[in-house]
Chains A and B, each alone.
Chain A
Amino acid sequence: MTRKVLLDVKGLETTFFTDDGAVQAVDNIHFDVHEGEILGIVGESGCGKSVTSLSIMGLVPSPPGKITNGEILLEGKDLTKLTDKQMRAVRGKDVAMIFQEPMTSLNPLFTIGNQLVEAIRIHNKSWSKKQAIARAIEIMKLVGLPRSEELINEYPHQLSGGMRQRVMIAMALVCDPKVLIADEPTTALDVTIQAQILKLMKDLNERLNTAILLITHDLGVVAETCERVVVMYAGQVVEEAPVKEIFKNPQHPYTQGLIQSVPDMRYKKDSLFSIPGNVPKPGSIKTGCRFAARCQYVTERCTAETPALFELSSTHKSRCFLVEEGIKQ
């Protein structure tokens, strides 16, 4: 892959300073997004996926949250060092985001058109209202919203969940961002609409060459849309690989567990596989592998030492001693 690195997250650490002490929700994370690529970030609830995306947008609620370490480079420019004003110019224009809940992501008091036009004019101040409306209709057509001309005069409550998510995507794409962060964009939608939205995102990715950072807990979604996957567990990256590789040859026991727990229609099973135990509370494990308590291959070394991210190949990395030992053999 010779494509240019667009977004480069280096050693990101986001900490929440709560009454019970500092909690590291995201701990020393590295990953990059290439131009025109769809990168998936997978993990259970509470593993730090959303905090990662909010950190990139500079929208971590502060206080109590703060980026305590690391760099987020967008085309070489470190987003963590920008002032509020500079960051506002990046949001929406260079990096845009869509959220999990399309039902609550639109302001209920304004029409769809109103909100789209507002989004357009934030970054194109010289545009007339007419130009902005024309652009809004154009982008609505692009995301497959029917009868756009009428729709711009309607209110969010008159639209279905799937349509609202399309409006959100339209709003995110209205200023041609380089990176689109999609935080569980299909979780709140039913399965048929999910498929439509994913297809739309993939389609837009190809047509507009917008890189997409797709955050999800659903491996099925990843298999369908992404090129590469980053698996997160308890605030850390535990495995990173191209999507085919990860399904064929998962290295980390957590990834293996995740893949096994996806229902497969080809085989009749009595009960679905599940990984025993729960995600540890952030900050509760100081030394050792964070997955050790739930791992079926656990050894003494796993609780005594903290594993690093080992490189199996230039594209495949895994945070597990078994992999390291496997490489050594």
Chain B
Amino acid sequence: MSELASKQIVAQEKVAGPWKEAWRSFRKSKAALFGLAIVTFFIIIAFIGPLVAPFGMNDQVLSNRLQPPSAEHWFGTDDLGRDIFSRVLYGARISLTVGFSAVLLSAVMGSFLGIIAGYYGRWIDTIISRIFDIMLAFPSILLAIAVVSILGPSLQNALIAIAIINVPTFGRLIRSRVLMIKQEEYIVAARAIGMKNSRILWNHILPNSMTPVIVQGTLAIATAIIEAAALGFLGLGAVAPQAEWGKMLADARVYFINAPWAMVFPGISIMLTVIGFNLMGDGLRDALDPKMKN
């Protein structure tokens, strides 16, 4: 090895923390980068969408009902003469907010319960794990419907429902991870220098259990967006006149033969976002999985 090359390696290694290394390996996958690009695109839209939208979310022009795509209305108009392109832009904010917050909520709740179950074990573990089992025994959308029917249909309640049904997934994931990590020698070593249980739990076990949560979280955002759309479609999530993608699909369903664009564009948006998050999640999983490292 030339001196220059070895110098470069040393220089590279100096800055390489575990996260930087993961990014290096993430970057290698084209699919993952494509996913990241889609996700970034929709996140940007979620932020600036309402600013660049040519029309307001609820601007109705009844003389312009169910117009096909044109130079003025890029994605056409719906049954109330609202501009679909503008509504799709507004909808990005709603869908992503629901996806991110629902997953964040369930990841936090699930991680907390999972860590406690995994670390303390015994009866605490039994209680928490059995609750997870009961929740997983129901099909998730049914459980979500049940939760919404208790809380009443609204976007916020749909978000809470989606968060609740995802808690066991995260909880079990973290629990199994904690069970593994608490056997690691560095945890015994941390005890041997006199560290407190709580400190070991939050400072050492938690950060080391995070990688599968990040991967699962990314994939779960995709599912959460679909679930929110499904609840919206069933009339249990977003209510009129909110521009939620699933709700838009449901409203346009009646006119599908005459005005397919009213369904196609929100549908494509859902599909693209979900594909983006899935590709990104797969890439993250490969990048963060120690077994895939070369």
Closest to B196 in A: A88
B271 contacts chain A at the CB level, 8 A cutoff: no
B40 contacts chain A at the CB level, 8 A cutoff: no
| Minimal beta-carbon separation of A74 from chain B (angstroms) | 14
A68 contacts chain B at the CB level, 8 A cutoff: no
- B191, B192, B207: the one contacting A109 at CB < 8 Å is B207
B195 contacts chain A at the CB level, 8 A cutoff: yes
Would A155 and B185 count as touching, CB distance under 8 A?
A: no
| Minimal beta-carbon separation of A183 from chain B (angstroms) | 10
Would A99 and B185 count as touching, CB distance under 8 A?
A: yes
Would B194 and A90 count as touching, CB distance under 8 A?
A: yes
Segment of A20-28, A100-108, A240-248, A299-307 in the binding face:
A100-108
- B18, B189, B196: the one contacting A155 at CB < 8 Å is B18
CB proximity to A under 8 Å, residues B186-220: 186, 188-196, 203-204, 207-208
| Minimal beta-carbon separation of B146 from chain A (angstroms) | 39
- Residues in B with CB closer than 8 Å to A150 are 14
Closest to A119 in B: B193
Closest to A94 in B: B194
| Minimal beta-carbon separation of B180 from chain A (angstroms) | 12
| Minimal beta-carbon separation of A149 from chain B (angstroms) | 13
- Residues in B with CB closer than 8 Å to A100 are 185
Would B208 and A107 count as touching, CB distance under 8 A?
A: yes
Closest to A150 in B: B14
Closest to B191 in A: A59
B72 contacts chain A at the CB level, 8 A cutoff: no
Q: How far is the CA of A101 from the CA of B207 in the complex (A)?
A: 21
Chain B, interface size category, equals 20 to 34
CB proximity to A under 8 Å, residues B7-46: 13-14, 16-18
CB proximity to B under 8 Å, residues A54-105: 57, 59, 88-93, 96-97, 99-101, 104-105
- Residues in B with CB closer than 8 Å to A93 are 194
A172 contacts chain B at the CB level, 8 A cutoff: yes
Would B190 and A97 count as touching, CB distance under 8 A?
A: no
Closest to B193 in A: A92
Q: How far is the CA of A99 from the CA of B189 in the complex (A)?
A: 8
Closest to A155 in B: B17
B184 contacts chain A at the CB level, 8 A cutoff: yes
| Minimal beta-carbon separation of B22 from chain A (angstroms) | 11
- Residues in A with CB closer than 8 Å to B14 are 150, 153-154
Closest to B210 in A: A109
| Minimal beta-carbon separation of B283 from chain A (angstroms) | 21
Q: How far is the CA of A5 from the CA of B224 in the complex (A)?
A: 65
Interface residues of B (CB under 8 A from A): 13-14, 16-18, 184-186, 188-196, 203-204, 207-208
User: Could you pull out 14 A-B pairs where Cβ atoms are within 8 angstroms?
Assistant: A57-B192, A59-B191, A91-B192, A92-B193, A99-B189, A100-B185, A101-B185, A104-B184, A106-B189, A107-B208, A108-B208, A109-B207, A122-B195, A158-B13
Interface residues of A (CB under 8 A from B): 57, 59, 88-93, 96-97, 99-101, 104-109, 111, 118-119, 122-123, 150, 153-155, 157-158, 168, 171-172, 175
